[in-house]
Amino acid sequence: MNISELAARAGVKVSTVRFYERRGLLPMPSRTSGGYREFPDDEVARVRFLRRGQQLGFSLAELGELTALSGQQVLLTGDVARAGQAKLAEIDERIADLARVRSALAGLLEQQCIDPDAACPLVGALGGEPVAQPA
């Protein structure tokens, strides 16, 4: 199939397929006598995997490692599990960071910017000023 067909079947743009190819995430396709790329049918699944992996927060480097693992004759479950556990730990850390940011922001919003002549604590905090905690 040509690059347009691959992109359409995988639900991505042609430029995305070219990008994955340049990054080495897709093997170099064969070429027709006219110089057009010709992809095997199984590349649809690989492109979908790459796109979905990005949506789930995997970096292109991580996806490259996973696609390299999946290309082995014997897929080493431990390697895939370790990669998954590392990503899970990273996601948990980001969730904890976001929870702290949310809590701080909620506390600032509770202080409300009512007095038009006073500095709003939210604006000051976002600017890096220390915030006085309510009594």
The domain limits of the chain are: 1-56, 76-129
Confidence of residue 103 (pLDDT cuts 50, 70, 90): confident
Cβ-based neighbours of 41, under 8 Å, separated by 6 or more: 1
Domain 1-56 top-level CATH class: mainly alpha
Cβ-based neighbours of 118, under 8 Å, separated by 6 or more: none
Confidence of residue 124 (pLDDT cuts 50, 70, 90): low
- Give first-to-last CA distance, the chain, whole Å: 68
Percent of the chain at pLDDT above 90? 33
Q: What is the pLDDT of residue 10?
A: 96
Contact 6, 44 (CB under 8 A): yes
Q: What is the pLDDT of residue 73?
A: 45
- pLDDT tens digits for range 26-85: 988 889 898 888 999 989 999 998 999 899 888 898 888 887 766 554 455 677 778 788
Q: What is the pLDDT of residue 52?
A: 92
